[in-house]
Structure 1
Amino acid sequence: MHSRRDLLRWSSAGFGWLALADLAACQNALAAGTGEKAANPLSPKTPHFPAKAKRVIFLCMQGGPSHVDSFDYKPALIADHGKRGKYGGNLLKSPWEFRQRGESGLWISDLFPNVAEAADDLCLIRSMHCDQPVHPGAMTQMHTGTAQFVRPSIGAWLLYGLGSENESLPGFVSLSPPAGSSRNYSSGFLPAIYGGTKVGGAGGRSGPALFRATDTGQDSVPDIRHPNLTVAQQRRQLDLIQQLNGQQRPDGDAAHVEGVIQSYELAFRMQDAMPELMDLSKEDQATKTLYGADDGPTQTFGRQCLLARRFAEAGVRFIEITHGNWDQHARLTADHQARADACDRPIAGLLQDLRRRDMLKDTLVIWGGEFGRTPSAQNGDGRNHNNKGYTLWMAGGGVRGGFSYGATDEHGFEAVENPCHIHDWHATVLHLLGLDHTRLTYRYAGRDFRLTDVSGNVVKEIIA
């Protein structure tokens, strides 16, 4: 005699697959207007045109690093040190010396001596500007194109437009995501499957323990398997959940339920793939040393950069690492130096490692914060927020190396030559990955939305 519980448990196995197959058969692929059919919304999709880059590693410097102390050389700021600035306050020269680097002769300060050695790979956009002078709004606009509404992040848009290259890994990973809001890595109104997978705690003043060595000196590897269920038991449980999900599919909204179903399936597959991928003990000592992942101030960010390279190698489409806090309203000299000491060597190691693996040519590496800082002093040794003009750099992935685009005024207050708005930058990033920002749209609330809203121009001058 069998109980009703036994009957349900036995008969439910496999029902989830039937529901999934039914949904897949009727669902249009979310393939950026290509009209193709796909069983899996994360299946690789054909770009609008041949791409320069296949993937993105975004090094997000939370808090607003100072452009006039790093990548935007201003001789007039040195000459006019102490004088009254354009928008008030006394001008403050940089405590770091600028030098011309590489064959290209790009001016880069001693704040980033290791990154400076890769000057001929860097494309400096020295005329960035955005609409928000405060951290939350500027950070959200940098990620989603707007600070006013909940919108998909740039990583979600790329995953939606291009799909993933590894069915057992998320296509969008956020390592120590920006503190304050999940909006910076969420799918917004796109199906949930396109959202970023958070790995580690929020970025900020201290790094997450996940990326540090254990007390025994071994690498810390997360165990994401269910502690009380076997794989077979999890599979049966998931099949039942998927069956129930399939029964709840509303007419005309298959994509959203499909996103939930696929996210559960992906999480199930990730149990084996993610721990193996994040096991840094498989890397040789020379590689760990290159990234500064052994110990000291570079250990945490070095491990994150090394993980980013491993994720990129495994087919993850968009990897973001957040590093902070760069918000120095005071103690600029000491605290900016500490922030740079923690990330300069790992970033240089990442660029070198990608280059020697022949991956830099199709991996777009991006470095930048939500805005820059004022040339005028605040609290003696500090700088205020500056969204009117700042620097962001990119490397690899089809951009011109050893190149500088745009300029701020003589002191670095605002962009005056070839201004590059956030929408222009987003349009350019999508273009480098083979996507036309005007065609990458999603129908929501009766309107076709896109990352660049109703503006944005590709900065063709920086494309190799």
Structure 2
Amino acid sequence: MEKEKKSEETGKPSDSENPLKVNRRHFFSQLSVGIGSLALGSLLIPDLLKGKGDELLGQELGIPNFAPKAKRIIYLFQSGAPSQLESFDYKPTLDKRQGEDLPESIRNGQRLTGMTSGQSKFPLMPSAVKFNQYGESGAWVSDFFPHIAKVADELCFVKSMHTEAINHDPAITFFQTGSQQSGRPSMGSWMSYGLGSENKNLPSFVVLTSRGKGNSQGLYSKLWSSGFLDSKHQGVLLRSGKDPVLYLNDPDGLSRSDKRHLLDKVSSLNKIHHVETGDDEIESRIAQYEMAYRMQMSVPDVMDIKKEPESIIKLYGEDCQVPGTYAANALQARRLAESGVRFIQLYHQGWDQHGGLPHEMAGQAKDVDQASAALILDLKQRGMLEDTLVVWGGEFGRTNYCQGKFDLKNYGRDHHPRAFSIWMAGGGIKPGITYGKTDEFGYNVVENPVHVNDFHATLMHAMGINHEELTYKYQGRRFRLTDVAGNVVKDILT
């Protein structure tokens, strides 16, 4: 190989061979500046780096793997686990054999919670509420849900859900993040990371909470955390009342122009810091400041239901005018979806009926029944149901045997992860079908089991995402929402 020409005086490469006077050390020290500038530019001007080959660059450009059936998800999470045996999984065998001990061949040594592990008997408990079939689909729905019964032909009832967790906190965390342990990104964060936002003035992931009168389990911000993803993907909790988002409004005496000037100054300092450190989280910080500035105008408008016609108020029920109720949040969910929010998560607490189930569950069902059905009808009349995926369900099911004293009028049911029911509608899901089946006791899945990982894979598929390809490398490992499992439930897709 020909040797490099060197200056006679210094012995170093001559300027003719290195006209830019850039040595190896200087080149690599400045390389991060150029990359950082490109990254910052792509954040501030989203279309800056887009070209014909963008589909090869991964999900962060907001491009789905294939044509999606759903553009957004509204997840009506019933925290505390509603009993499938008093809602959608009708089991007449429990009436015929009430009071009998659950056969050991059915229970088969299943793990018990500390609340029933001391019981020597497990008396079968029939449902205190009647069931009827509805619509052309003939779906079984209990009298606790008369409004949902009327839209049965729009719904897909999945009666073969099962999970691994038997206690509330790990079970809810599993449903929301794909792991029973805290620290993973939530489902909404994965959607935000993979698909981005449709509205630059609103977050791509929004959370609303409400509380019924029943026994409530705690809700924690880890459920809508972005985990190890950039913090710009975390869920934004919208509160009821005057200030939906804390610290969003400007203090007295600070004008809009003053705020803009302040943000520009802070942004310039953050850009300098980013160039110096290459810390990607600085980009997220800049984006969040800008989002907060835009949200000052957009959030009050989307949260104001005064423009809704009386027909819509009547559809959702009078409670929709009371901030913080489930009905109000359901209506807000439609408004957020209409405004381009990608993932809207509602949590309704109070479904943990270990005792007094007939009375407590009746009240809980009344809180959510009309508004849940109204959301389906409202989306449909606006032509939005076909590309909005709505999900209703809790973290696990309830036992077919009584917890504690056998009392037909005031019984309770313990946690049951082996089999429970949810329903889905719109967004590429087949309407008017029932998928999966439990045994005659409603205890074990006997047909078409659907694991939580399968559920996640199916939701992502509806949004145009291959669940195996949307990954994020963290601490030397590539993570995904479905971890190392999950199969798309193709039989329920249109």
1:308 corresponds to: 333
**CA distance in structure 1 between the aligned counterparts of 2:417 and 2:91, rounded to whole angstroms:** 17
Over 3 Å counting, the alpha-carbon distance change for 1:222 and 1:250 in structure 2 is: closer
User: 1:224 Cα shift?
Assistant: 3.9
2:175 corresponds to: 142
Tell me the SS of whatever aligns to 2:468. Answer: coil
Tell me the SS of whatever aligns to 2:325. Answer: helix
2:250 corresponds to: 226
**CA distance in structure 2 between the aligned counterparts of 1:144 and 1:70, rounded to whole angstroms:** 26
Letter in 2 for 1:94: S
Q: Is contact 1:376-1:383 (8 Å) kept?
A: yes
User: 1:74 Cα shift?
Assistant: 1.0
1:71 corresponds to: 88
Over 3 Å counting, the alpha-carbon distance change for 1:318 and 1:299 in structure 2 is: closer
1:215 corresponds to: none
Residue 157 in 1 paired to residue 186 in 2? no
User: 1:253 Cα shift?
Assistant: 5.3
Structure 1 unaligned residues grouped into runs of 5+: 1-18, 201-207, 212-219
User: 1:182 Cα shift?
Assistant: 1.1
2:487 corresponds to: 457
Residue 185 in 1 paired to residue 224 in 2? yes
Q: Is contact 2:201-2:295 (8 Å) kept?
A: yes
- Decide which of 53, 65, 78 is 2:70's aligned counterpart: 53
Select between 99-108 and 287-296 the one with higher mean Cα deviation.
287-296
Select between 273-282 and 148-157 the one with higher mean Cα deviation.
148-157
Tell me the SS of whatever aligns to 2:391. Answer: strand
Q: Is contact 2:177-2:186 (8 Å) kept?
A: yes
The normalised TM-score by structure 1 is 0.86
2:312 corresponds to: 287
Tell me the SS of whatever aligns to 1:59. Answer: strand
Q: Is contact 1:298-1:346 (8 Å) kept?
A: no
Q: Is contact 2:72-2:343 (8 Å) kept?
A: yes
Q: Is contact 1:221-1:278 (8 Å) kept?
A: no
2:7 corresponds to: none
**CA distance in structure 1 between the aligned counterparts of 2:249 and 2:490, rounded to whole angstroms:** 46
1:8 corresponds to: none
Residue 94 in 1 paired to residue 133 in 2? no
Over 3 Å counting, the alpha-carbon distance change for 1:257 and 1:267 in structure 2 is: same
User: 1:80 Cα shift?
Assistant: 1.3
Tell me the SS of whatever aligns to 1:455. Answer: coil
Over 3 Å counting, the alpha-carbon distance change for 1:76 and 1:186 in structure 2 is: same
Select between 158-167 and 72-81 the one with higher mean Cα deviation.
72-81
User: 1:125 Cα shift?
Assistant: 1.0
User: 1:416 Cα shift?
Assistant: 2.5
Residue 388 in 1 paired to residue 418 in 2? yes
**CA distance in structure 1 between the aligned counterparts of 2:369 and 2:165, rounded to whole angstroms:** 27
Q: Is contact 2:237-2:245 (8 Å) kept?
A: no
2:26 corresponds to: none
Tell me the SS of whatever aligns to 1:281. Answer: coil
Query: What CA deviation, in whole Å up to 9, does each residue of 1:15-37 have, x standing for no partner?
Result: xxxx9975423779899x94459
User: 1:385 Cα shift?
Assistant: 0.6
Structure 2 unaligned residues grouped into runs of 5+: 1-34, 108-120, 211-216
Select between 410-419 and 187-196 the one with higher mean Cα deviation.
410-419
Q: Is contact 1:223-1:275 (8 Å) kept?
A: no
- Decide which of 27, 33, 41 is 1:25's aligned counterpart: 41
Tell me the SS of whatever aligns to 1:120. Answer: helix
Select between 360-369 and 247-256 the one with higher mean Cα deviation.
247-256
1:195 corresponds to: 234
**CA distance in structure 2 between the aligned counterparts of 1:82 and 1:316, rounded to whole angstroms:** 49
Over 3 Å counting, the alpha-carbon distance change for 1:451 and 1:307 in structure 2 is: same
Q: How does 1:59-458 map to 2 (within 5 A)?
A: 59-86=76-103, 87=107, 88-176=121-209, 179-200=218-239, 224-228=248-252, 229-249=254-274, 254-294=279-319, 300-379=325-404, 380=407, 381-458=411-488
User: 1:180 Cα shift?
Assistant: 3.2
Letter in 1 for 2:93: A
**CA distance in structure 2 between the aligned counterparts of 1:66 and 1:325, rounded to whole angstroms:** 12
Over 3 Å counting, the alpha-carbon distance change for 1:116 and 1:236 in structure 2 is: same
What's the C-alpha RMSD, in Å, of the aligned pairs?
2.8
Query: What CA deviation, in whole Å up to 9, does each residue of 1:264-321 have, x standing for no partner?
Result: 1101100000001111101111111110144799982111111000000000000011
Over 3 Å counting, the alpha-carbon distance change for 1:61 and 1:295 in structure 2 is: closer
Over 3 Å counting, the alpha-carbon distance change for 1:144 and 1:410 in structure 2 is: same
Q: Is contact 2:160-2:445 (8 Å) kept?
A: yes
Select between 319-328 and 295-304 the one with higher mean Cα deviation.
295-304
**CA distance in structure 1 between the aligned counterparts of 2:84 and 2:277, rounded to whole angstroms:** 48
The normalised TM-score by structure 2 is 0.81
Q: Is contact 1:427-1:437 (8 Å) kept?
A: yes
Q: Is contact 2:399-2:443 (8 Å) kept?
A: yes
Query: What CA deviation, in whole Å up to 9, does each residue of 1:1-46 have, x standing for no partner?
Result: xxxxxxxxxxxxxxxxxx9975423779899x944599xx6x7x22
**CA distance in structure 1 between the aligned counterparts of 2:322 and 2:299, rounded to whole angstroms:** 26
User: 1:76 Cα shift?
Assistant: 1.2
Tell me the SS of whatever aligns to 1:90. Answer: coil
Over 3 Å counting, the alpha-carbon distance change for 1:252 and 1:455 in structure 2 is: farther
Tell me the SS of whatever aligns to 2:460. Answer: helix
**CA distance in structure 1 between the aligned counterparts of 2:168 and 2:319, rounded to whole angstroms:** 32
**CA distance in structure 1 between the aligned counterparts of 2:99 and 2:58, rounded to whole angstroms:** 64
Letter in 2 for 1:140: T
The count of aligned residue pairs is 427
User: 1:73 Cα shift?
Assistant: 1.1
Tell me the SS of whatever aligns to 1:61. Answer: strand
Letter in 1 for 2:331: L
